[in-house]
Amino acid sequence: MRDCLFLVADKNMEGMLKGFFSRDAFHRAMGCGHFAFDSRQDLLVAHGQNDPGLYTRANEFLQPYANTHRHAVVIVDAEWSGSPGKDGILKRLNQHLLSAGWLADNGCAVVIDPELENWVWQDSPHVCSALGSDMSFAALRAGLEAKGFWQPNEAKPDRPKEAVEWALRQSRKGRSSAIYQQLATWVTAKGCTDQAFHALRNALLRWFPPAK
């Protein structure tokens, strides 16, 4: 049996997880015990489905892996056309995990509110570098505040995806999954304050407790 399957909605989330779990001793960054991760066996992208497709059909993608993986994580964004909101998505995804064959504590639904880019933004020069900016993080944030993407005294931008897109336009860099993979290779888990990231981290701590 493999340790954990990660089912995601798109290439950007795939890049983020590949970057993070390819780091040396990634489990220490999460504070959990070691577990095996191979993107070819443990990372599944629902190509062409995006977030609404996983909300509707996640169980169909999960079922073939119920006998090969002890645990399963499904990750989607909360914001998309017709979204029932974070709580509604969590409820539906947990039902999918159960119907696909994982007991309640062996599966974890993660809903990023509003979207994946919430995991990008933390005070780090690596964020600027990955987005192609030669500005300091303070200067980049000031520009985002001036454009209304980030409110003063808030830990995250109100519109994280639009903030990423604006920063990329300033540096004339195209948006790609490679950016997310690069970011995840550099930034720290401790620097991420997003609730969905903490939900993922807490699940991994339960399943793979650190060695005493």
Residues 99 and 161 in one domain: no
Q: Are residues 160 and 139 in the same domain?
A: yes
In a domain, 186, yes or no: no
- Residue 93 in this model has a pLDDT that exceeds 70: yes
Confidence of residue 191 (pLDDT cuts 50, 70, 90): low
pLDDT at residue 70, rounded to an integer: 98
Q: Where are the beta strands (DSSP E) in the chain?
A: 2-8, 43-45, 69-77, 107-112
- The pLDDT of 82-99, averaged and rounded, is 97
127 and 61, same structural domain? no
pLDDT for residue 163 is more than 90:
yes
The answer for residues whose C-beta is within 8 angstroms of residue 10's C-beta and 6 or more apart is 45, 50, 51
Average pLDDT, the chain: 93
CATH of the domain at 15: 3.40.1360
Residues 12 and 76 in one domain: yes
* pLDDT (tens digit per residue) in 54-76: 999 999 999 999 999 999 999 99
Residue 185 within a domain: no
Confidence band of 120 (pLDDT split at 50, 70, 90): confident
Residues 57 and 155 in one domain: no
97 and 152 housed in the same domain: no
Q: Are residues 105 and 137 in the same domain?
A: no
Residue 170: pLDDT over 90: yes
pLDDT at 177: 93
The answer to whether residue 185 scores a pLDDT higher than 70 is: yes
| Claim to verify: residue 41 and residue 125 sit in the same structural domain | no
Q: How many domains does the chain have?
A: 2
Q: Is residue 212 part of a domain?
A: no
Query: Is 112 found in the same domain as 25?
Result: yes
Does residue 125 share a domain with residue 106?
A: no
Residues 41 and 81 in one domain: yes
Distance CA 26, CA 9 (A): 22
The string of pLDDT tens digits covering residues 38-58 is: 999 999 999 888 999 999 999
Whole-number Å distance between alpha carbons of 73 and 5: 6
First to last CA, the chain: 24
Are 64 and 111 members of one domain?
A: yes
Does residue 138 sit within a domain? yes
Q: What is the pLDDT of residue 192?
A: 76
> What is the span of the domain harbouring residue 141?
120-179
% of the chain with per-residue pLDDT over 70: 99
